[in-house]
Structure 1
Amino acid sequence: MTEHSGRSGLEAELRRAVRGEVGFDVTSRALVTMDASNYRRVPAGVVAPGDADDVAAVLEVCRARGVPVVARGGGTSIAGQATGVGVVLDFTRHMNGLLELDPGTRTAVVQPGLVLDRLQEAAAPHGLRFGPDPSTHSRCTLGGMIGNNSCGSHSVAWGTTADSVRELSVLTARGHRLRLGPDWAGAPEGLRELVAGDLARLRTGFPDLPRRISGYALDALLPEKGADVARSFCGSEGTLGVVTEAVVRLVQAPRARALAVLGYGDESAAAEAAAGLLSWGPLTVEGMAADLVRSPAGLPQGGAWLFVETGGESAAEARARAEEIVRGADVVDSLVVTDPAAQRSLWRIREDASGTATRMPDGSEAWPGWEDCAVPPARLGDYLRDFRVLLSAHGLRGTPYGHFGDGCIHVRIDFDLLTEAGIGRFRRFSEELADLVVAHGGSLSGEHGDGQARAELLPRMYGTETVRLFERAKALWDPDDLLNPGMLVRPARLDENLRFAVLPRDPVEVAFGYPADDGDFRAAVRRCVGVAKCRTTTVSGPAVMCPSFRVTGEEEHSTRGRARLLHEMLAGELVTDGWRSTEVRDALDLCLSCKGCRSDCPVGVDMATYKAEFLHHHYADRRRPAAHLSMGRLPQWLRWIAITHTAPLLNALAGVGPLARAGKRLGGIAAEREIPRLATRTFSGWWRAREPVRGAGGMGAGGPGPGGSGPGGFGSGGSGPVGLGQGGLGPVGSGPSGFGPGGFGSGGLGQGGLGPDGLSQGGLGLGGSGMGGSGPGGFGPGGFGSGGSGPVGSGPGGLGQGGLGPGGLGQGGLGPDGLSQGGSGLGGSGSDGSGLDGSGSDGSGLGASGTDGLGPDGSRSGALVVLWPDTFTEHLSPAVGRAAVRVLEAAGLRVALPPTLLVRGGGIGAGRARSAAALLTARRARVCCGLTYISTGQLDRARAVLRRTLDLMEPVLRAGVPVVVLEPSCAAALRTDLPELLHDDPRAAQLSSAVLTFAETLQRHAPHWTPSALNRPVAGQTHCHQHAVLGDTPDRRLREAAGLTGELSGGCCGLAGNFGFEKGHFEVSRACAEEQLLPSVRQAPEETVILADGFSCRTQLDQLAGVRGRHLAEVLAEALEKETGS
């Protein structure tokens, strides 16, 4: 019988036997090949049992076929015990209930798949809680905690899971249903005799320390310990039986808490101090070193800290206890916090350490394997010093942290698990560290179990006779060795089944630069270590990750699940068709590209980038979905509509039902969606129509002349040193040779920037390519046609007959074959006036505005900023752009738009459409962040668009002018995607660093300006890209300054650009919005200001709630208008 036919027969038999789901497909198997450890094992299939009868049926089928069974909860085990080669039981899907909670007896009846936080939420109204609370509390399950005997930060007060278990309902591999408890309740036949025959060994052979998790807890069966079979079962890692129900104890939660953060010189000093703090009865004594802290803001001074929590009946009592500990501790510095939100913020630093620790300070990888050794607390300082010596001897690095009060240390170490030599060192170090732990009277595991990582070394801790006792106990419970074989007894070797061994040895060719991973996509995928913070089912605070998992509850639609499938795609064993994989494509389909994982994932997995990369390869030389063509190329379509002035017609047609439905079908748009109305006048059209009022100190009294700039153009009376900073637009002004011998001055656009030859050295480099490239002559008659990329710069056919002649960029500059007379450039206007001054009839260049050139204090020192006309502001919500101009100018800033370039033809990708009359008209090449191309994986187009953008923006970059981007997604694309896609172009990093949000601009360049007071509450949502990439601290400060009170929601609005408009995504999109955004808006008082800086967020609010969301710029502009009456 072949492996495939055997697996098919097993699948068919299981489908007949159980009511729950049976998954033997590639995706189901791939998702559970790994947990949070270094190990990988490929299962035959996965079953999500509906109840205990289903579990019994699975065990019966597998026993008959000799197939192993592995019980799995949240998959956050870090020793390999949640992986297996047989059938994996996934309890999280159905058997996840809280069956009963009795406040009187302080007990709860739970199923194994119940997430710990759900139990805590149910117990909290009764003043109760479950004592153990590992850092994975938001996604770990009670069954997994029982299997590993998990602990958590409060174990100094409330002990381990075994201390909190009263009874267990268990199924053995042979189908026996047992009810485990004290006094031998539920003990399998022969267990009592085994214990009675070796009492002396059980009384003396087990280290006496609070965190002894390694091995089987056979000493719990001693008569003096109550012969507690349930307690002994805890920590058996699914090797003895399968838990189907548990009765657990709850503890009284303190009414109030305080957190004392104690600073010490280093981790050894903190470790030595920890044991001495226990006499004060703290709730926690957690330690961590500075290496694990991304930002020390909010922490007291020190190289390491202890987080000591106290409780009380009131905040004052809890604080008094904390302050008493501070007075008695010998610390470098300290901090006592009673505000619950501030405490949560500090605790997040500690909880994220398990992920943060997977990266060394220099960005190199670190791995589990020696995650949780424990020694007597009084010996912790000495142990850490010896541990550091051992690390150094093997040339390894690691940063300890963890439960210092219990003597339990977590550490991720920079093992090389990719090469034979590195794996050999991993083994030698493991063996020597095991001996060191034992020498200090410790346990190889103090929390997470032995699994495959440490079980091989148990004889070093217990001796061979005690290990044989473990084997005999296993045989009594599971004589056929079907339950999680290879764990605890007769274990697999610690250097087998390593998950990295299957990855390709050679680098994978990719489009993005992956700078944090040295350009290696394999390393990027390896970032996911399985801590599963993305599986959190509720959002806390401003967090975003992972909206698709919270809606579906499916591992496939979590960040971790997608990373697992990408890992298997690279491995090629399960997912065999590489970039063409339909399994990976389907898993990525519901990824909203929110980028939440980029910031919320402790290891910085960036699934939005991985999705764009995958789609780029998946659809290479293949037909793309209609949505990629309609919405992925949205900037092209909207620009064409603006050129042809057809927005009113299209708006009317979108209101005709049959036509709208047909259009949506053609474009791959969800039928439930409304097509947003197009602006009948674009933002830049409004800008050109403005009557600029320039003061004597504005852009120069003389204005531009036909031969470049007039005497006052950029002279000393123009921008001056305060315009673009010292050395910006220098005092030379312009003479007959264009921009003068100094160009823009040595500090501006470089010496000789625009010399008498036009572009000269250091000039604009206007030969950049687009999707269709540029004609053979640079910007010849074909514009951005299909003739490939020609030489950069100018020439006989390049920028017109005269090149950039002595007339600068005036009438003699750009000849009729190039960009038409007047053209664009850095000062000359000609008929268009689109140069840096921008004051011609068009005025659409980098032309500074400002009502009178005054700063907020009445001086003429307002900084020049470039306002980015993103696609959404330009064509769909120009009111946002107008409002931003109003506010920026009121703050004393001078506003300009980016340079544009007049070309003929259809621009990017126009080769096929050059016969279309509408696209042969003269048009302006405009800047674009490439967002829609990137999100749909059209990365070749994105790169072409971005290179053209860099060409256009080069004068801005050379002048060092900040770039204000109003749309958060576009700002995030320029900040991150641009430099990662064009990592070979130094201008990409320049533009990335020049980008500012609206609030950042006001904070940096108008710090003394105060917005008009609104004094109203706010609701709405921080854009997910703002949260993930840009940060919202400046926005918070700006809102506070305007008297806007309250917090914005976390999570994602669910529209996510093209995602929520795509066919098949509407229900998920709406469910995301219903999670936080829509409820917060519905509950808001009538006078509440609804803030949503993203066009997607505003559209979602409008279409799902009939609520108008506004950009912060609009709200502040409205306040200005009310204040001034204008």
Structure 2
Amino acid sequence: MASMDASPSPARPEASDTAATAATAAPAGAADRPDVLGRLAAAGVAADASPRRLAEYSYDASNYRVPPLAVVFPRTVEDVLAAVAACRGTGTPLTGRGGGTSMAGNAIGPGVVLDFSRHMTRVHAVDEAAGTVDVDPGVVLADLTREVERATGGRLTFAPDPSSKNRATVGGSLGNDACGNHSVRHGRISDHVVELDVVTSDGARLTATGTGLRATDPADDASAARAAELADSLRALARENLAAFRLELGRIPRQVSGYHLENLLPERKLNIARALVGTEGTCAVVVRARMKLVPKPASALLVCLGYADVVDAARDVTTILEFSPAAVEGTDEAIVETMRFRRGTDSVLGLPEGRAWLFVDLDGDDPASVAAEADRLLARLGENGRLVDGRAVPDLVERASLWRVREDGAGLSSRLASGGESWPGWEDSAVAPEDLADYLADLRVLMAEHGLGGVMYGHFGAGCMHIRITYDLRTEEGRAVLRRFTREAAELVVRHGGSLSGEHGDGRARSELLPLMYSPGVLAAFARYRRLWDPAGILNPGSITAPDPLDANLALAGIPAREWRTSFDLRPLGAGGGSLAETDDPARAHGAGTDPWVHAVQGCIGVGRCRADTGGVMCPSYRATRDEKDSTRGRARVLQDMVRGAATVQEGWRSEEVREVLDLCLSCKACSTDCPAGVDMATYKSEFFDHYYRGRLRPLSHFSLGWLPRWLALTGRIAPLVNAVLATPLAKAAAVAGGLTTRRAMPRFAGAGEWRREAAAAGVLPPGDPAGSVVLFVDTFTRGFRPQVAGAAARVLAGAGESVACSADACCGLTWISTGQLDTARRLLSRAAQALDDGTERPIVVVEPSCAAALRKDLPELVHTEQARRVAARVRSFASHAADLAAAGWTPSPAQPLPGRVVLQTHCHEYSVFGAGTQRTALAAAGVPEVVDATGCCGVAGNFGFERQHYEVSMQVAENALAPALRSTPPGTVVLTDGFSCAMQVGQLDASRAGRHLAELLDPGRPAEAGSP
């Protein structure tokens, strides 16, 4: 047995565990708040009832909004017992929550919310001999799988793998009976449950097993008596409903709707553990679980199949199932198009021809046998006549790319490339796999009758579809359509012998419709089952029995009409906004339809990818603090309450809650790419700060760092003096005066003429010279801190056959954008557009990636002219242009031999605007054999890491990726940092190294030096 004495995640700072109760005014309807909070405080349990926290936890990933009274982050089972007692004593509802990714509204509630994902995250033990794992409910599924495979040497794994596995927790998955991509082979999570430790609403600590119920602590006589009494009652319930349970329950693989009471039948040996799974927190609170493990296959191969539409794909499922696949997943073209639109054409690799696709996983012990089986499958499907194109995908990079399309389906489908929106509500129906094609064909007819479209994806092999539909939830008429359509869709799936829910549970979205699926006798048994477990009636009200109406508490209802004038053009592209805007003043258009600011901040639908530890860069602050307020989702939810004028967040642009929730946003822009819904929190933060600080005194750093280009114009003239002063104790006084940390090394300031000498030595042409095939834009940071990079970049471009014209007479306004000083930023960007619009289409190559991103993305969103759009379309980062040159056949020839290994720290703005693989492509073309990716924000992020109050978090962010990458490589290993901020952080973490720009590494004109100053 391998013992896990700590959480798989490193220790994190506790930023928000203190109670925030006394000074908080209770919203309407919260009469019980002081009493329940007083009881919690008396029991030593911290409860956060701050307006900001309540806004964050008013939502999950569903269509609903239900503000809680308070949020508790339990650390121990004793905390859970105290919270249950406080709620029982005051009649306050209690809702358990894991990752908050529920699409049915079963992770929100009107009373106390218990968030297990913050502290109760231990993997207690992995028992390889028994094939089990013992875990807390807050453990994230991907973390659990990683720990199990590490502890067993890759021999065993945890099978359930829903698409949200990198943020969904064990407890939440047990609540919904989650399944996953490989459920064709491994079934639902209920198939993997051995025992569940629970707390009941009357305070008993019980352990549900495969054959009954016992007290978790044998010495606990009261719980033992409760276990015996409850087990007898459950036997009686099953005995009185034998025929109904056998006929109506457990008929198809994904029948998740209702309670799984077939597990109480004699032939199931009173499997109370499995009967508790899928109860959505309405019966008991899970505080620990023992789960089964499965062998990990030695070899697996993805087979990707293209079809004309999803119905054709569904008709081939029965043939595919004959080959015993581990997974049969599907998606349609809308998701693929949105992926490519948002993340670039190379974000989807290896996709065969078609307009709908199935992803089939075959596995086995021998790779050759698996490959042969793939060939037989393709041949057999070809005989069926529906397959448009298909191929096996042995390449791991292509495989990961294709699976990411499927796994990001929920978010990608919410805001489509076409500009439309889609929503959950009927996203989780299921039928027998052999009935799937006919069901989908009929469902499309029904959708057309209601004037609705939809995005279809899901677990085709298990007959479970995740269909997001184009409801208009913003209008009363559209909400009426939601109600009518959902009822008719429920009637349709029942006619096909199916289930209202196949994985997500019934929650607020479908519980009202259970009478269409089940007889009155079974519904009465459901109600009795719930009362037996929860006689106090406090656990997760509104779901399954005595449900709320499916159109109650909709998050998009009741938002007051208001014009929110913004500097950024936030209209969706399909409405003429963003880089395709056609008006000179988008603020004038903000009164038409949904306000663009409202529409933008409502882009977050709660899928919670920003809470993931791995994959991408988002969200660095959450990875550092583990606090919901520091996730992109948490910030978006507070902004959503801001625009609705909620009781929790009422002050609009002056809201202290919004300012607080945005405080640790690094403005890295990673969310604009990594968030499946395309939330761009850096832009929202800039816009909000622009309004919030009007007429108010700004932080000192907004002047010292926000105005940095102005100061550099001065320091360049007296650089030797400035550098001399910074080498004395006066440097600390200067830092304090500017609101900066004294714990970070200051950079060396370059003289005003240094970059010009570098450029002249490289033989660049004057700015307006028409002979240049490319314009090299030397930005403020390069001029002020790294002038040698300007010469290196010019020589690399010249060595690639380009004739280089140089421009440096403009500023991108980045520092003013990041600090929310948008009037100045707009003026500077307007001048930059005028300076760079030379009547040509030649590329504008920018040395500093953050400045390149500002000119590419922020310029057209802040300056609403054709000139701005023309210039933005020409902008390239140096790395992206080098990658394009390499793709066209150029091979770099640096003056100094390239290192055998490079640590690559991709700047966040490069990552989000120009793509994650630009530097890697150039390095591969140059022949660098090994690249160690430090994928993640460095932590400095412009002004953030230099600000006194953010220094600690900036260093914690570095621990996400950069610091471990430095520690894992020898001291002499080259670190590639195109971003000046990244280079500063490398020097802070390891003074023996200095980050180099890609241009310095590839410089053909002179040997690379020890590194940038």
Q: What TM-score does the superposition give when structure 2 sets the normalisation length?
A: 0.89
Query: Which residue does 1:74 correspond to in 2?
Result: 99
Q: What residue number does 2:304 align with?
A: 261
Provide the rounded CA distance (Å) in 2 between the counterparts of 1:564 and 1:1083.
38
1:137 pairs with one of 134, 158, 165: 165
Specify whether residues 165 and 1116 from structure 1 end up closer, same or farther in structure 2 by C-alpha distance, changes over 3 A only. same
Instruction: Say which SS state the counterpart of residue 1027 (structure 1) adopts.
Output: helix
Q: Give 2:858's aligned residue.
A: 977
**SS at 2:249 equivalent:** coil
- Equivalences for residues 384-463 of structure 1 within 5 A: 384-463=440-519
Q: Does 1:305 align with 2:357?
A: yes
1:43 aligns with 2:68: yes
Partner Cα separation in structure 2 for residue 368 and residue 71 of structure 1: 21
- RMSD of Structure 2 on Structure 1 (CA): 2.0
Classify the secondary structure of the residue corresponding to 1:374: coil
Q: Could you tell me how far 1:1002 is from its partner in structure 2?
A: 4.5
- Write the letter of the residue equivalent to 1:582: E
Contact 1:503/1:567 (8 A) holds in 2? no
Q: 2:880 and 2:626 mapped to 1: Cα distance?
A: 37
**Which residue in the other structure is 1:649 paired with?**
721
Give CA deviations for 1:689-725 in whole Å, capped at 9, x if unaligned.
Answer: 65969xxxxxxxxxxxxxxxxxxxxxxxxxxxxxxxx
How far apart are the structure 2 equivalents of 1:449 and 1:507?
38
Deviation at 1:78, TM superposition (A): 0.5
Could you give the per-residue CA deviations for residues 278-332 of structure 1, whole angstroms, max 9, x where no partner exists? 1211110111112211235421111211111122224334333333322322332
Aligned position for 2:263: 220
Q: State the secondary structure of the residue aligned to 1:1075.
A: coil
Cα offset, 1:274, TM superposition: 1.0
The reply on whether 1:153 has 2:39 as its aligned counterpart is no
| SS of residue paired to 1:11 | helix
Q: Secondary structure at the match of 1:649?
A: helix
Change (3 A) 1:104 1:689: closer
Give the Å deviation of 1:1121. 5.1
Counterparts of 2:801 and 2:259 in 1: how far apart (Å)?
72
Superposition deviation, residue 1118 in structure 1:
5.2
Provide closer, same or farther for how the CA distance between residues 1120 and 346 of structure 1 changes in structure 2, counting only shifts above 3 A.
Answer: farther
Question: 2-side partners of 1:458 and 1:489: how far apart?
Answer: 9
* Greater displacement, 1099-1108 / 1033-1042: 1033-1042
User: Hey, what does 2:17 align to over in structure 1?
Assistant: none
Distance 2:510 2:135 in 1: 30
Write the letter of the residue equivalent to 1:1055. Answer: V
Equivalent residue, structure 2, for 1:381: 437
* Deviates most, 178-187 or 244-253: 178-187
Report the Cα offset of residue 25 of structure 1: 1.1
Candidates 837, 856, 864, aligned match of 2:773: 864
Q: Is the 8 A contact 1:847 1:895 kept in 2?
A: no
Using the alignment, how far apart are the partners of 1:1115 and 1:1023 within structure 2?
Answer: 16
Whole-angstrom distance in 2 between the partners of 1:473 and 1:998: 64
> Which residue identity is paired with 1:1059?
F
> How do residues 587-626 of structure 1 correspond to structure 2 at under 5 angstroms?
587-626=661-700
Q: Quick check: 1:549 aligned with 2:628?
A: no
The alpha-carbon deviation at position 580 of structure 1 amounts to: 1.6
Gaps of 5+ in 2: 1-25, 215-226, 341-347, 578-595
Q: What SS does structure 1 have at the residue aligned with 2:712?
A: helix
Question: In structure 1, what is the equivalent of residue 209 of structure 2?
Answer: 181
CA contact (8 A) 2:880 2:914 kept: no
Offset, 1:198: 1.6
Which of 736, 743, 747 is residue 676 of structure 1 equivalent to?
747
Q: Following superposition of structure 1 onto structure 2, how do residues 581-980 of structure 1 map, counting pairs within 5 Å?
A: 581-642=655-716, 645-657=717-729, 659-686=730-757, 690=761, 838=766, 845-847=767-769, 863-898=772-807, 926-954=809-837, 956=838, 958-980=839-861
The correspondence for 2:415, drawn from 343, 346, 359, is 359
In 2: Cα distance, 1:184 partner to 1:1039 partner? 61
Query: What residue in structure 2 maps to residue 996 of structure 1?
Result: 876
- One-letter code aligned to 1:301: E
Post-superposition Cα deviations, 1:1032-1051, rounded to whole Å, max 9, x if no partner, equal 54533321121112333211
2:381 match = 329
Compare the two structures and name the one with the higher helix fraction.
2
Alpha-carbon separation, structure 2, partners of 1:77 and 1:34:
9
CA drift at 1:1004: 5.2
2:772–2:805 contact (8 Å) kept in structure 1: no
Match of 1:720 in 2: none
Secondary structure, aligned partner of 2:1003: helix
Deviates more, 1:212-221 or 1:1035-1044: 1035-1044
Change (3 A) 1:1003 1:532: closer
In the alignment, the residues of structure 1 paired with residue 879 and residue 601 of structure 2 have an alpha-carbon distance, to the nearest angstrom, of 34
Deviations, residues 556-595 of structure 1 (Å, cap 9, x unaligned): 1010011011111112221122222222112211111111
Partners of 2:491 and 2:299 lie apart in 1 by: 43
> Pairwise mapping of residues 1067-1106 of structure 1 onto structure 2 (< 5 A)?
1067-1085=952-970, 1088-1106=973-991
Once residues 439 and 23 of structure 1 are traced to their aligned partners in structure 2, the CA distance between those partners, rounded to angstroms, is: 46
> Higher RCO, 1 or 2 (CA under 8 Å, sep at least 6)?
2
Output the CA distance in 2 between the equivalents of 1:895 and 1:936: 33
CA distance in structure 1 between the aligned counterparts of 2:944 and 2:44, rounded to whole angstroms: 36
User: Residue 950 of structure 1: CA displacement?
Assistant: 2.2
C-alpha displacement of 1:233? 0.8
Alignment partner, residue 370 of structure 1 = 426
Is 1:496 matched up with 2:552? Answer: yes
Once residues 174 and 846 of structure 1 are traced to their aligned partners in structure 2, the CA distance between those partners, rounded to angstroms, is: 79
Query: Structure 1 residue 982: deviation in Å?
Result: 1.2
Alignment-mate amino acid for residue 181 of structure 1: T
Please, which runs of 5 or more residues in structure 1 have no aligned partner? 694-836, 839-844, 849-861, 900-925
The one-character-per-residue Cα deviations of 1:57-76 (angstroms, maximum 9, x if unpaired) are 11111111110100111100
- The letter for the 2-side match of 1:652 is A
1:138 and 1:536 in contact (8 A); partners too: yes
Identity rate, percent? 46
Distance 1:1005 1:280 in 2: 45
Alpha-carbon deviation of 1:361?
4.2
Instruction: Report the Cα distance in structure 1 between the residues aligned to 2:999 and 2:365, rounded to whole angstroms.
Output: 46
Give aligned pairs, total.
925
For the 8 Å contact 1:50–1:95, the answer to whether it is kept is yes
Q: Deviations over 1:482-520 (max 9, x none)?
A: 101111000000000001124332342111101426560
Output the CA distance in 1 between the equivalents of 2:51 and 2:663: 17
- Separation of aligned partners in 2, 1:504 and 1:315: 60
Partner letter of residue 740 of structure 2? I
1:32 to 57, 71, 79: 57
Match of 2:606 among 523, 526, 530: 530
Contact 2:137-2:287 at 8 Å conserved across structures: yes
The secondary structure found in structure 1 opposite 2:447 is: helix
* Letter of the 1:1114 counterpart: E
- Residues 1:639 and 1:216: Cα distance change in structure 2 (over 3 Å): same
What's the secondary structure of 1:108's corresponding residue? strand
TM-score, normalised by the number of residues in structure 1: 0.80
| Residue equivalent to 2:116 | 91
Instruction: Give yes or no for contact 1:682–1:875 (8 Å, CA) kept in 2.
Output: no
Whole-angstrom CA distance in 1 between matches of 2:921 and 2:79: 55
Asked whether the equivalents of residues 849 and 878 of structure 2 are also in contact (C-alpha less than 8 Å), the reply is no
Q: Are 1:1062 and 2:956 an aligned pair?
A: no
SS of residue paired to 1:1065:
helix
Q: CA deviation at 1:688?
A: 7.6
Q: Is the 8 A contact 2:250 2:260 kept in 1?
A: no
- Runs of 4+ aligned structure 1 residues displaced above 4 Å come to 1-5, 687-693, 1002-1006, 1118-1123
Instruction: Work out whether residues 73 and 141 of structure 1, in 8 Å CA contact, stay in contact via their aligned partners in 2.
Output: yes
Cα distance in 1 between the residues matched to 2:1005 and 2:287:
60
Cα distance per residue 1:335-372 (max 9 Å; x no partner):
21234343222211110111111124412111000111
Measure the CA separation in 1 of the matches of 2:531 and 2:994. 67
> Which stretch shows the higher mean deviation, 429-438 or 1105-1114?
1105-1114
